[in-house]
Structure 1
Protein backbone atom coordinates (compact mmCIF):
# COMPACT_ATOMS: atom_id res chain seq x y z
CA UNK A 1 0.00 0.00 0.00
CA UNK A 2 2.87 2.38 0.78
CA UNK A 3 4.41 1.75 -2.62
CA UNK A 4 1.11 2.54 -4.30
CA UNK A 5 0.73 5.87 -2.40
CA UNK A 6 4.34 6.74 -3.14
CA UNK A 7 3.87 6.05 -6.87
CA UNK A 8 0.65 8.07 -6.85
CA UNK A 9 2.40 11.08 -5.22
CA UNK A 10 5.33 10.89 -7.64
CA UNK A 11 2.90 10.77 -10.57
CA UNK A 12 1.02 13.79 -9.27
CA UNK A 13 4.24 15.75 -8.85
CA UNK A 14 5.63 14.88 -12.28
CA UNK A 15 2.48 15.92 -14.18
CA UNK A 16 2.67 19.65 -13.25
CA UNK A 17 6.41 19.68 -13.97
CA UNK A 18 5.84 18.26 -17.44
CA UNK A 19 2.99 20.73 -17.91
CA UNK A 20 5.22 23.64 -16.83
CA UNK A 21 7.55 23.09 -19.76
CA UNK A 22 4.72 23.66 -22.26
CA UNK A 23 2.42 26.61 -21.88
CA UNK A 24 -0.22 27.96 -24.20
CA UNK A 25 -0.57 31.58 -25.14
CA UNK A 26 -3.89 32.76 -26.53
CA UNK A 27 -3.79 35.41 -29.25
CA UNK A 28 -6.68 37.50 -30.64
CA UNK A 29 -7.51 40.99 -31.86
CA UNK A 30 -9.65 43.28 -29.71
CA UNK A 31 -12.38 45.63 -30.99
CA UNK A 32 -9.74 48.27 -31.91
CA UNK A 33 -7.74 45.77 -33.94
CA UNK A 34 -4.90 45.56 -31.42
CA UNK A 35 -3.20 42.19 -31.03
CA UNK A 36 -3.77 40.79 -27.50
CA UNK A 37 -1.75 38.03 -25.83
CA UNK A 38 -3.04 36.19 -22.74
CA UNK A 39 -2.39 33.02 -20.76
CA UNK A 40 -6.13 32.31 -20.46
CA UNK A 41 -8.73 32.10 -23.22
CA UNK A 42 -11.50 34.69 -23.41
CA UNK A 43 -15.09 33.52 -23.71
CA UNK A 44 -16.90 34.41 -26.94
CA UNK A 45 -13.63 35.40 -28.64
CA UNK A 46 -12.06 33.38 -31.41
CA UNK A 47 -8.40 33.07 -30.50
CA UNK A 48 -5.40 31.22 -31.81
CA UNK A 49 -3.07 29.33 -29.50
CA UNK A 50 0.68 29.34 -29.50
CA UNK A 51 2.58 26.61 -27.66
CA UNK A 52 5.50 28.01 -25.73
CA UNK A 53 8.14 25.93 -24.04
CA UNK A 54 9.71 27.26 -20.87
CA UNK A 55 13.20 26.27 -21.92
CA UNK A 56 15.40 29.34 -21.92
CA UNK A 57 16.37 30.92 -25.19
CA UNK A 58 20.12 30.79 -25.45
CA UNK A 59 21.62 33.21 -27.92
CA UNK A 60 25.11 32.68 -29.19
CA UNK A 61 27.52 35.48 -28.52
CA UNK A 62 27.90 38.10 -31.24
CA UNK A 63 31.25 38.92 -32.74
CA UNK A 64 31.87 42.60 -31.95
CA UNK A 65 35.32 42.78 -33.53
CA UNK A 66 34.02 45.02 -36.32
CA UNK A 67 33.11 47.66 -33.72
CA UNK A 68 36.67 47.94 -32.49
CA UNK A 69 39.06 50.18 -34.38
CA UNK A 70 41.85 47.76 -35.27
CA UNK A 71 43.61 50.19 -37.58
CA UNK A 72 46.34 52.23 -36.00
CA UNK A 73 46.54 56.00 -36.05
CA UNK A 74 48.56 55.84 -39.26
CA UNK A 75 45.64 54.15 -41.08
CA UNK A 76 42.81 56.62 -40.55
CA UNK A 77 39.62 55.99 -42.48
CA UNK A 78 39.24 58.15 -45.59
CA UNK A 79 36.60 60.79 -44.91
CA UNK A 80 34.62 62.69 -47.52
CA UNK A 81 33.42 66.20 -46.71
CA UNK A 82 30.92 68.11 -48.81
CA UNK A 83 28.98 71.35 -48.52
CA UNK A 84 25.25 70.78 -48.89
CA UNK A 85 24.11 74.37 -48.54
CA UNK A 86 24.59 76.80 -50.24
CA UNK A 87 24.63 75.15 -53.64
CA UNK A 88 27.35 75.91 -56.14
CA UNK A 89 26.86 79.44 -57.61
CA UNK A 90 23.67 80.03 -55.59
CA UNK A 91 22.51 83.59 -55.05
CA UNK A 92 21.54 84.32 -51.46
CA UNK A 93 19.32 87.33 -50.86
CA UNK A 94 19.66 88.57 -47.30
CA UNK A 95 19.88 92.23 -46.30
CA UNK A 96 21.45 91.40 -42.93
CA UNK A 97 24.25 89.45 -44.62
CA UNK A 98 23.44 86.15 -42.89
CA UNK A 99 24.60 82.98 -44.62
CA UNK A 100 23.84 79.44 -43.43
CA UNK A 101 26.44 76.80 -44.27
CA UNK A 102 25.56 73.12 -43.93
CA UNK A 103 27.97 70.27 -44.57
CA UNK A 104 28.07 66.48 -44.45
CA UNK A 105 30.87 64.16 -43.42
CA UNK A 106 30.85 60.57 -44.65
CA UNK A 107 31.05 57.75 -43.63
CA UNK A 108 30.50 59.08 -40.08
CA UNK A 109 31.63 61.81 -37.74
CA UNK A 110 33.90 60.23 -35.13
CA UNK A 111 34.89 61.37 -31.66
CA UNK A 112 37.91 63.66 -31.64
CA UNK A 113 37.20 65.22 -35.02
CA UNK A 114 36.28 68.87 -35.51
CA UNK A 115 35.21 71.05 -38.43
CA UNK A 116 36.57 74.43 -39.52
CA UNK A 117 34.87 76.82 -41.98
CA UNK A 118 36.95 78.90 -44.37
CA UNK A 119 35.43 81.91 -46.13
CA UNK A 120 37.45 83.30 -49.03
CA UNK A 121 40.47 81.17 -47.96
CA UNK A 122 40.44 82.50 -44.37
CA UNK A 123 39.43 80.55 -41.28
CA UNK A 124 36.30 82.24 -39.91
CA UNK A 125 34.62 79.63 -37.68
CA UNK A 126 35.67 76.56 -35.75
CA UNK A 127 36.98 74.22 -34.83
CA UNK A 128 33.63 72.83 -33.69
CA UNK A 129 31.88 69.45 -33.46
CA UNK A 130 29.19 70.25 -36.04
CA UNK A 131 29.26 70.87 -39.79
CA UNK A 132 26.59 73.60 -39.56
CA UNK A 133 27.68 77.24 -39.46
CA UNK A 134 25.98 80.64 -39.46
CA UNK A 135 27.86 83.64 -40.80
CA UNK A 136 26.62 87.13 -39.93
CA UNK A 137 27.17 90.46 -41.68
CA UNK A 138 28.88 89.01 -44.76
CA UNK A 139 29.66 91.64 -47.41
CA UNK A 140 27.73 91.52 -50.66
CA UNK A 141 29.36 89.93 -53.66
CA UNK A 142 31.00 86.66 -54.63
CA UNK A 143 32.36 84.39 -51.86
CA UNK A 144 33.95 80.97 -51.63
CA UNK A 145 33.42 78.61 -48.65
CA UNK A 146 35.24 75.41 -47.80
CA UNK A 147 35.10 72.94 -44.89
CA UNK A 148 38.10 71.26 -43.29
CA UNK A 149 37.99 68.29 -40.91
CA UNK A 150 40.68 68.22 -38.27
CA UNK A 151 41.73 65.30 -36.09
CA UNK A 152 42.32 65.65 -32.35
CA UNK A 153 45.90 66.89 -32.86
CA UNK A 154 44.81 69.68 -35.24
CA UNK A 155 45.92 68.01 -38.45
CA UNK A 156 43.70 68.53 -41.53
CA UNK A 157 42.50 65.09 -42.62
CA UNK A 158 39.76 66.03 -45.13
CA UNK A 159 38.82 69.10 -47.17
CA UNK A 160 35.61 69.79 -49.10
CA UNK A 161 35.49 71.12 -52.62
CA UNK A 162 35.08 74.90 -52.55
CA UNK A 163 31.57 76.26 -53.14
CA UNK A 164 31.09 79.68 -54.68
CA UNK A 165 27.97 81.66 -53.78
CA UNK A 166 26.76 85.20 -54.37
CA UNK A 167 25.31 87.35 -51.60
CA UNK A 168 22.81 89.99 -52.64
CA UNK A 169 22.10 92.72 -50.08
CA UNK A 170 19.60 95.41 -50.98
CA UNK A 171 20.95 98.94 -51.18
CA UNK A 172 19.35 102.18 -50.00
CA UNK A 173 20.51 103.87 -53.23
Structure 2
Protein backbone atom coordinates (compact mmCIF):
# COMPACT_ATOMS: atom_id res chain seq x y z
CA UNK A 1 0.00 0.00 0.00
CA UNK A 2 1.24 3.50 -0.81
CA UNK A 3 0.52 6.74 1.02
CA UNK A 4 1.26 10.39 0.20
CA UNK A 5 -0.18 13.86 0.78
CA UNK A 6 -2.06 15.65 -1.99
CA UNK A 7 -1.82 19.39 -2.77
CA UNK A 8 -4.26 20.22 0.07
CA UNK A 9 -2.24 18.18 2.57
CA UNK A 10 -4.76 15.32 2.81
CA UNK A 11 -3.40 11.77 3.15
CA UNK A 12 -4.08 9.60 0.09
CA UNK A 13 -3.90 5.79 0.21
CA UNK A 14 -3.53 3.68 -2.92
CA UNK A 15 -2.46 0.23 -4.08
CA UNK A 16 -0.13 1.80 -6.67
CA UNK A 17 2.36 4.69 -6.35
CA UNK A 18 1.57 8.06 -7.93
CA UNK A 19 4.13 9.02 -10.62
CA UNK A 20 6.51 11.86 -9.72
CA UNK A 21 5.28 12.00 -6.10
CA UNK A 22 7.29 10.84 -3.09
CA UNK A 23 5.18 8.20 -1.37
CA UNK A 24 5.74 5.94 1.62
CA UNK A 25 4.95 2.24 1.54
CA UNK A 26 2.90 0.43 4.17
CA UNK A 27 3.17 -3.32 4.63
CA UNK A 28 -0.43 -4.37 5.32
CA UNK A 29 0.33 -8.08 5.38
CA UNK A 30 1.62 -7.80 8.97
CA UNK A 31 -1.68 -6.64 10.48
CA UNK A 32 -4.70 -8.58 9.26
CA UNK A 33 -8.07 -6.87 9.13
CA UNK A 34 -10.04 -8.73 11.82
CA UNK A 35 -13.44 -7.69 13.11
CA UNK A 36 -14.81 -8.97 16.43
CA UNK A 37 -18.01 -10.94 15.84
CA UNK A 38 -21.26 -10.26 17.67
CA UNK A 39 -22.84 -12.85 19.93
CA UNK A 40 -25.57 -14.33 17.70
CA UNK A 41 -27.88 -14.86 20.69
CA UNK A 42 -28.26 -11.08 21.05
CA UNK A 43 -29.44 -10.76 17.43
CA UNK A 44 -31.72 -13.79 17.49
CA UNK A 45 -33.34 -12.80 20.79
CA UNK A 46 -32.28 -15.99 22.60
CA UNK A 47 -31.09 -13.98 25.60
CA UNK A 48 -33.19 -12.49 28.38
CA UNK A 49 -33.19 -8.86 29.39
CA UNK A 50 -31.09 -9.74 32.45
CA UNK A 51 -28.50 -11.47 30.25
CA UNK A 52 -28.08 -8.31 28.17
CA UNK A 53 -27.68 -6.15 31.25
CA UNK A 54 -24.87 -8.37 32.52
CA UNK A 55 -22.68 -7.45 29.55
CA UNK A 56 -23.05 -3.66 29.93
CA UNK A 57 -19.89 -1.82 30.92
CA UNK A 58 -18.92 1.82 31.23
CA UNK A 59 -15.49 3.42 31.09
CA UNK A 60 -14.32 6.99 31.58
CA UNK A 61 -12.50 7.95 28.39
CA UNK A 62 -11.81 11.59 29.25
CA UNK A 63 -10.06 12.65 31.38
CA UNK A 64 -7.65 9.78 31.89
CA UNK A 65 -6.66 8.46 35.31
CA UNK A 66 -4.03 10.67 36.96
CA UNK A 67 -4.57 13.52 34.43
CA UNK A 68 -3.80 17.07 35.52
CA UNK A 69 -6.31 19.60 34.23
CA UNK A 70 -5.34 23.25 34.17
CA UNK A 71 -8.46 25.41 34.07
CA UNK A 72 -8.77 28.67 36.00
CA UNK A 73 -12.56 28.62 35.69
CA UNK A 74 -12.70 25.24 37.45
CA UNK A 75 -14.46 23.51 34.55
CA UNK A 76 -14.13 19.75 34.29
CA UNK A 77 -15.38 17.74 31.30
CA UNK A 78 -16.11 14.04 31.83
CA UNK A 79 -16.85 11.70 28.94
CA UNK A 80 -17.92 8.07 29.41
CA UNK A 81 -18.26 5.19 26.97
CA UNK A 82 -20.96 2.54 27.42
CA UNK A 83 -20.47 -0.86 25.81
CA UNK A 84 -22.01 -2.51 23.87
CA UNK A 85 -24.24 0.56 23.37
CA UNK A 86 -26.61 2.91 25.16
CA UNK A 87 -30.00 1.19 25.33
CA UNK A 88 -33.49 2.50 26.03
CA UNK A 89 -34.15 2.78 29.75
CA UNK A 90 -30.53 3.33 30.69
CA UNK A 91 -29.27 6.45 32.41
CA UNK A 92 -25.91 7.60 33.71
CA UNK A 93 -24.99 9.09 37.08
CA UNK A 94 -21.79 10.97 37.90
CA UNK A 95 -20.17 10.42 41.27
CA UNK A 96 -17.59 13.05 42.16
CA UNK A 97 -15.51 12.63 45.31
CA UNK A 98 -17.79 9.66 46.19
CA UNK A 99 -21.00 11.77 46.07
CA UNK A 100 -23.70 11.73 43.39
CA UNK A 101 -23.47 15.16 41.77
CA UNK A 102 -25.21 14.77 38.40
CA UNK A 103 -27.78 12.52 36.77
CA UNK A 104 -29.46 10.31 36.13
CA UNK A 105 -29.32 11.52 32.54
CA UNK A 106 -29.47 9.98 29.05
CA UNK A 107 -25.89 10.92 28.14
CA UNK A 108 -22.47 9.87 29.42
CA UNK A 109 -21.06 13.39 29.01
CA UNK A 110 -20.89 15.68 32.05
CA UNK A 111 -19.62 19.22 32.60
CA UNK A 112 -18.81 20.39 36.10
CA UNK A 113 -18.31 24.09 36.79
CA UNK A 114 -16.40 25.91 39.53
CA UNK A 115 -14.65 22.77 40.80
CA UNK A 116 -12.18 23.43 43.62
CA UNK A 117 -8.52 22.93 42.89
CA UNK A 118 -6.87 19.74 44.05
CA UNK A 119 -7.29 15.98 43.80
CA UNK A 120 -10.70 14.56 42.84
CA UNK A 121 -12.14 11.07 42.39
CA UNK A 122 -14.53 10.50 39.44
CA UNK A 123 -16.78 7.50 38.77
CA UNK A 124 -19.76 6.81 36.47
CA UNK A 125 -22.70 4.47 37.08
CA UNK A 126 -25.20 3.09 34.57
CA UNK A 127 -28.72 2.67 35.93
CA UNK A 128 -31.56 0.67 34.39
CA UNK A 129 -35.11 2.04 34.11
CA UNK A 130 -35.87 0.82 37.68
CA UNK A 131 -32.98 2.82 39.14
CA UNK A 132 -30.82 -0.28 39.72
CA UNK A 133 -27.06 0.12 39.16
CA UNK A 134 -26.11 -2.25 36.31
CA UNK A 135 -22.55 -1.06 35.57
CA UNK A 136 -19.91 0.98 37.36
CA UNK A 137 -16.76 2.48 35.87
CA UNK A 138 -13.35 2.09 37.40
CA UNK A 139 -12.79 5.19 39.55
CA UNK A 140 -10.19 7.63 38.30
CA UNK A 141 -8.26 10.36 40.05
CA UNK A 142 -7.79 13.76 38.42
CA UNK A 143 -5.94 16.83 39.60
CA UNK A 144 -7.36 20.30 38.93
CA UNK A 145 -4.96 23.22 38.88
CA UNK A 146 -6.35 26.74 39.18
CA UNK A 147 -4.27 29.85 39.54
CA UNK A 148 -4.41 31.32 43.01
CA UNK A 149 -3.85 34.89 44.15
CA UNK A 150 -1.33 34.88 47.00
TM-score, normalised by the number of residues in structure 2: 0.68
- Per the alignment, residue 74 of structure 2 pairs with 97
Matches within 5 A, 1:84-163: 84-163=61-140
- Per the alignment, residue 74 of structure 1 pairs with 50
Aligned residues: 109
Higher RCO structure (Cα 8 Å, ≥6 apart): 2
For the residues of structure 2 that align with 1:66 and 1:81, how far apart are their CA atoms? 19
Q: Cα distance 1:82–1:130, how it changes in 2: closer, same or farther (>3 A)?
A: same
What's the offset of the Cα at 1:68?
5.7
Q: Greater share of helix residues, 1 or 2?
A: 1
RMSD of aligned alpha carbons: 1.5
Give the gaps of 5 or more residues in structure 2.
Answer: 1-40
Q: Cα distance 1:114–1:68, how it changes in 2: closer, same or farther (>3 A)?
A: farther
What's the offset of the Cα at 1:79?
1.1
For the residues of structure 1 that align with 2:50 and 2:60, how far apart are their CA atoms? 27
Give the gaps of 5 or more residues in structure 1.
Answer: 1-64
What's the offset of the Cα at 1:70?
3.9
